[in-house]
Structure 1
Amino acid sequence: MEYISTRGNVGRIGFIDAFMMGLGDDGGLLVPREIPVVSAETLQKWQDLSYQELVLAIFALYTNGEIPEEDLRELVYASYDTFRDPAVTPVRKLKDDLYLLELFHGPTFAFKDIALQFMGQLYTYVAGKQNRKIHILGATSGDTGASAIEGVKGKKGIKICILHPHGKVSKVQELQMTTVQEDNVLNLSVDGNFDDCQRMIKELFADLDFKASHHLAAINSINFVRIMAQTVYYFYAYFQVAKETGAKEVSFSVPTGNFGDIFAGYLAKRMGLPVGKLILATNENNILERFVLEGVYKPGDFRTTYSPSMDIQVASNFERYLYYVLGEDPAQIRTLMEQFKQTGEISIAGDALSKVQEEFGAHGVQGQECLTTIKQYEAATGYLLDPHSACGVAAADKYSGERTITVSLATAHPAKFNEAIELVGIEQQFPEQISALFEKPQRQTRVDGSLQSIVRELEAFYS
């Protein structure tokens, strides 16, 4: 397996090099040169594997044997030993045609743990094997930051800095990041929104001199390893539902703002998993819904919503999908991304748009619909959805007439977003780990939204 850039100006590189490069040096996103295709016979063999063994089977298709088998096994088992459910990502039945894939049993109660616990282990492994400094730099709309920090806090040879938009994450998300007291952790609370944070991260990674001199490594879903790790739970969920129901094909409804989680589902489908529709659930920041329905990718006015982890206008992983739906033509991608930089818009039509609409559905869930879904499902089933998971369920219900069975992704524990839960009149019991956060001191640095301020803080931290 070799990795290339969507923009065509990165030579074929191996797995570890792709992991460490993060964002392509040409500004593009790294992808496998060829997506591995899994046969029906292999799927049959995989269906009874534990989650950890399934991870190993899928990772073996992408890692080129660059990590010795026993080392990779240790990394994988260490990554998921901290999860509270032995299944790692258990599947729950909500009703006859709707299942919920619980992705929040990791240490920070969010789906990001599934990829970032492994990435933390892998960064530690590379730092030790290559005797190198690794300075992780990332932006978060809420959950990535806590998960990334949890994965590498206190680790020798690694420093991590996370940017989050000041006042635009939930209180629990903020506390999970800022109550960590390890000296290798820096939290920057940035005046602005997530898109501002993400834009500055990309600018810093695009400055190759700055990137090299400061040993930068990426933790956001611009790093392909994030996508690779998230692909696993689509396979796992399919196997569980197929065994219970006999379904030959399963659709997935995915709350997403950065197009990473749903791109992992697209990758699983390209690998041969029998996926029907991929239903893209957004909130009022519905740029991705408009793209699926109309073929227009154009950021609008930023909205603050009940599902803040999806309060994103510019989706980092959109370029990866664009690369595939337009026939893996890097010259075309270079042209389109330059056009987007100049005009703020990309449009597709004809066969390409038809292909998008064949593969994806989309529904932008408005605030009241999100709250109503939480209340209705809690009353009908006793199951409490967080607002992001509620968007996924609402989108699944929107497409209920077009499917047999859908798995909706539950991306976070409701305790992380009590602000929304309180609005529907539900009083929930916090897990002990989350309750304890409110008693801990916080450590963060507030900065203005300028790149110069970020650079100043980074240079002091990484020195």
Structure 2
Amino acid sequence: MRYVSTRGQAPARDFADVLLAGLAEDGGLFVPESWPHFAPADWRAMRSLSYPDLAARIMQPFVGEAIAFADLSRICRDAYAGFGHPAVAPLVQLDAHLFTQELFHGPTLAFKDMALQVLGRLFDHVLTRRDARVTIVGATSGDTGSAAIEACAGRDRVDILILHPHERTSAVQRRQMTTVHAANVANVAIEGTFDDCQDLVKAMFADAPFRQAMRLSAVNSINWARIAAQIPYYVAAALALGAPDRDVAFSVPTGNFGNVLAAWAARRMGLPVSRLIVGSNRNDILTRFLNDNDMSMRPVEPSLSPSMDIQVSSNFERLLFELLDRDADRTRTTMQDFRTTGRMLVAEPVWRRARGVFHGFRLDDPGTEAEMRHLHDACGYLADPHTAIGVAAARAHPCHGGVPIVTMATAHPAKFPDAVERATGIHPPLPPRLADLFEREERFTVLPNALDAVEAAVRSLAGRNRSA
């Protein structure tokens, strides 16, 4: 399997090179040169697999010959061994045709663990074979940072620096990052929004001498390996509900578009996914695009669901590339114009292609609290704000003919205890392994939204560890 850039001006690479590169040199995102496809008989044969074995089977075509299948299987089994539920990603039924898939049973209580526990081990495997070292830089709106740090802390061949927007994450989210004291970990709070953090990461990758000197890599969903490792849980849910002999739909609370893109990728591989519902909060650029072809940036507003407080959804570029029939020149100019003008112009036929699969939904904070309260009152289910938006989006776009809708439960309610308690009267406790989180010492640096200051922090981290 080879990978090409959505902007067409970077050389094709194999999976291992894409894993280490993260962002393409031309500013684009790597995508498979061709999409693997499974026939109905292939899907049926996967029904009996455990989650780790299913994950390895789904990822194998994307990995190709870069990593032996026996090694990939071992990596997946190791990655999910410590999850807090034997099913890894269990389904919970909420209504006749409405389910959640709980993706928060990993070490940091969020769906990012599903991919990043695999990613950390993939880095270890490839870097050990190459006798190399990388510096990972990442931006987080709340959950990616802690999951990435958990996956990479203490690893011999990786330094990791995570940017988060200062005072714009929940206290639990922040502390899960800033109380990890491994020598190869650094946390920086940026005086700005998540989009500012994400722009700083992209600017570091665009600074070619800095990128080469620091051997930069990425764990955000701009890294294709993240997307590949998220596809399996959509497959697991669909198979459990009767696929390939029954259609299924997914409702995904969405910020950076990576999670729902993984669902689209499963569909592209032949899984019978009839509908993808995108749930947004007040930062509703994706919903405005899907409903009205209005992809225009507005200021980011803080909300009860901070992981979705985003206006520039990086992974949308991968979908745009496909909607434009893989025309890299049009993709590049469209994305450049979007960043220059703040508005993306998408021709109506292209927009309608997106509308054929995707549906948008927006929910404000009062509506989110009302949905959290309803879920608890109706079926005793405690949902975090992001999951509640996903469930409300599913209710707003019901399927006909008994097609089940699965909402991705992206975070444990204890990650947002104040919002959950305000909505339901219940203060969800942290699991025992995190019970002392608020007693641990925090370590992070507050920096301005300035590239030179952040690059200096990266140099300091990498230089300290490379000289040790």
TM range, smaller chain? over 0.9
- What corresponds to 2:411 in structure 1? 412
CA contact (8 A) 1:251 1:276 kept: yes
CA contact (8 A) 1:241 1:247 kept: no
**Alpha-carbon offset, residue 210 of structure 1:** 1.0
SS in 2 for 1:400: coil
| Structure 1 residues 200 and 402: CA distance shift in structure 2, 3 A | farther
- State how far apart, in whole Å, the 2-side matches of 1:356 and 1:288 are: 11
| Structure 1 residues 370 and 220: CA distance shift in structure 2, 3 A | same
Residue 255 of structure 1: which of 247, 253, 256 is its match? 253
Residue 291 of structure 1: which of 289, 292, 299 is its match? 289
Aligned-partner residue type, residue 157 of structure 2: G
Equivalent residues in 2 for 1:365-444 (5 A)?
Answer: 365-400=363-398, 404-424=403-423, 425-444=425-444
- State how far apart, in whole Å, the 2-side matches of 1:428 and 1:56 are: 34
Aligned-partner residue type, residue 332 of structure 1: R
CA contact (8 A) 2:178 2:442 kept: yes
Equivalent residues in 2 for 1:80-229 (5 A)?
Answer: 80-229=80-229
**Alpha-carbon offset, residue 302 of structure 1:** 1.0
Equivalent residues in 2 for 1:310-325 (5 A)?
Answer: 310-325=308-323
1:348 lines up with 2:346 in the alignment: yes
Aligned-partner residue type, residue 108 of structure 1: T
**Alpha-carbon offset, residue 8 of structure 1:** 0.7
CA contact (8 A) 2:138 2:220 kept: yes
Unaligned runs of 5+ in 2: 464-468
- What corresponds to 2:7 in structure 1? 7
SS in 2 for 1:252: strand
- State how far apart, in whole Å, the 2-side matches of 1:444 and 1:451 are: 17
- State how far apart, in whole Å, the 2-side matches of 1:37 and 1:164 are: 37
- What corresponds to 2:24 in structure 1? 24
Aligned-partner residue type, residue 266 of structure 1: W
RMSD, aligned α-carbons: 1.3
- State how far apart, in whole Å, the 2-side matches of 1:459 and 1:203 are: 15
CA contact (8 A) 2:170 2:415 kept: yes
CA contact (8 A) 1:92 1:99 kept: yes
- State how far apart, in whole Å, the 2-side matches of 1:102 and 1:422 are: 20
Count how many residue pairs are aligned between Structure 1 and Structure 2: 461
CA contact (8 A) 1:10 1:24 kept: yes
| 1:167-220 deviations in Å (ceiling 9; x for gaps) | 000000111001101111000011111000000100111112211110111000
Q: Provide the TM-score with structure 1 as the length reference.
A: 0.97
- State how far apart, in whole Å, the 1-side matches of 2:338 and 2:397 are: 31
Q: Provide the TM-score with structure 2 as the length reference.
A: 0.96
CA contact (8 A) 2:142 2:307 kept: yes
**Alpha-carbon offset, residue 307 of structure 1:** 0.3
CA contact (8 A) 1:172 1:434 kept: no
**Alpha-carbon offset, residue 294 of structure 1:** 1.5
- State how far apart, in whole Å, the 1-side matches of 2:395 and 2:344 are: 29
- State how far apart, in whole Å, the 1-side matches of 2:147 and 2:323 are: 31
SS in 1 for 2:436: helix
| 1:40-96 deviations in Å (ceiling 9; x for gaps) | 111111122111111111111111122122222221111111111111111111111
1:57 lines up with 2:49 in the alignment: no
Deviates more, 1:162-171 or 1:402-411: 402-411
**Alpha-carbon offset, residue 247 of structure 1:** 6.6
**Alpha-carbon offset, residue 350 of structure 1:** 2.6
| Structure 1 residues 174 and 211: CA distance shift in structure 2, 3 A | same
CA contact (8 A) 1:247 1:405 kept: no
- State how far apart, in whole Å, the 2-side matches of 1:461 and 1:350 are: 47
Q: After TM superposition, which residue ranges in structure 1, 4 or more long, deviate above 4 angstroms?
A: none
| 1:7-41 deviations in Å (ceiling 9; x for gaps) | 11122211101111110111100000111111111
Aligned-partner residue type, residue 44 of structure 2: Q
| 1:245-287 deviations in Å (ceiling 9; x for gaps) | x971000000011000000000100000000110000100000
Aligned-partner residue type, residue 411 of structure 1: T
- State how far apart, in whole Å, the 1-side matches of 2:196 and 2:66 are: 36
Deviates more, 1:432-441 or 1:268-277: 432-441
| 1:421-453 deviations in Å (ceiling 9; x for gaps) | 122222323322232101111111111111121
| 1:125-156 deviations in Å (ceiling 9; x for gaps) | 12211111111110100100000000010111
Residue 273 of structure 1: which of 255, 266, 271 is its match? 271
Aligned-partner residue type, residue 280 of structure 1: V
**Alpha-carbon offset, residue 241 of structure 1:** 1.6
- State how far apart, in whole Å, the 1-side matches of 2:82 and 2:196 are: 33
- What corresponds to 2:36 in structure 1? 36
**Alpha-carbon offset, residue 402 of structure 1:** 5.0
